[in-house]
Chain A
């Protein structure tokens, strides 16, 4: 029988140190809005931690690289002894996260023809500034979020950024992941 030898080396994450540093910074000083969106969950019975990072910057990276970057960033912030508590570390782009079912809420503007014309561009820009993804279709940003509370928080911020647009913003819950 032939002997097939494989060697597995960890992905070269030094190329992606900028992503790791950005994650570290986000963990140390979390922003109120935008990407990356970090979900850190503790499973009480085991004390293990689940890490999900939604970030369109992941797009060209494979899942191993994403997981390694997340794990390294986490241990840099919280200490290498905490690494063993990580049950899973997964990076999704926003469309992937929607597919996985972890971003069930969508915030979208419903601008009427009678609304000020500058709102069309204003709403779009405000969404992009708050981390909406254009990976579905360039020029058509979509803003998906994990909880209703966070979606409402985003609507308040979007309304503040486009003065007078309070009634324009709507929140919907996806009937199914898309």
Chain B
């Protein structure tokens, strides 16, 4: 695949000219693209599981409690220090917990190789 973004190296933006893993494109492959009517079989095992598992929706008491606990766990002095370190070092590269958790799910559901 053509690397159109070559030569613009950066610490801030994570680039993947072609997908670095399934997590990058699973939505596209499963949810997007042409779907055709009547004369087609959709003969896939596991699709329902994947799409359901991959969707973590924020909309419940559970979520509120998780937010509350996360905020209570938060060490503000530490996050401020970390924020400064990030600024000084020119940003970090993607070890975000929420994202990690989500991609983890995707990796899990499709791990079967």
Say if A and B assemble together.
no
Binding site for A on B (CB under 8 A): none
Binding site for B on A (CB under 8 A): none
